Amino acid sequence: MLKCEVCGKQADKHHIVYRSQGGVDFPLNFKYLCSEHHRGKNGPHKSRKLDVEFKIELQKKLNDLLCKDYYTIDELVCLIEINKGMLRRLLKDYKIYKEGYKKTDIIYRLMGKKIYTEDMLEEYYDFIANF
């Protein structure tokens, strides 16, 4: 049984970058959350703040994990445990240099073609204050 990372109850698999946002299957993109911590009011599908926090956390993990500037498909498959065919499809629109794909392109694509910044959390607070 998968356990919720917050409370330990039976959990579902949550995609930090949703599939609808271009997110794909690789272990770092998963969080295991029970129905309340997943779909409830304090879960990422209802709380925009938590959603963005999870995404910033994932983006940081990817940045730390990919410590070189370029990576080949095989290196990435090994490092982030992603399906090779899927990764090829994801990166087909990006330039391949002689050393491989650029780290920044890889992270950008894995994050669903977005760059998340801490400002996004502040924007959220402003939004709430005005609401």
- What is the footprint of Zn ion within residues 25-44 (CB under 5 A)? 34, 37
Residue 108 CA, distance from chain mean position:
10
C-beta of 6 vs 24, nearer to Zn ion: 6
CB of 109 to Zn ion, least distance (A): 20
Q: How far is the CB of 19 from Zn ion (least distance, A)?
A: 9
Should residue 24 be labelled a site residue for Zn ion when binding is judged by CB under 5 A? Answer: no
Buried b / exposed e over 5-42, threshold 16 CB at 10 Å, is: ebeeeebeebbbbeeeeebbebebbbbbbbeebbeeee
Q: How far is the CB of 24 from Zn ion (least distance, A)?
A: 14
Instruction: Pick between residue 47 and residue 107 the one whose CB is nearest to Zn ion.
Output: 47
Q: How many residues bind Zn ion (CB under 5 A)?
A: 7
CA dist list (Å): 68 to 61, 72, 97: 14, 11, 13
Decide: is 7 part of the binding site for Zn ion (CB under 5 A): yes
Q: How many CB atoms lie within 10 A of CB 116?
A: 19
Residues that bind Zn ion (CB under 5 A): 4, 6-7, 9, 14, 34, 37
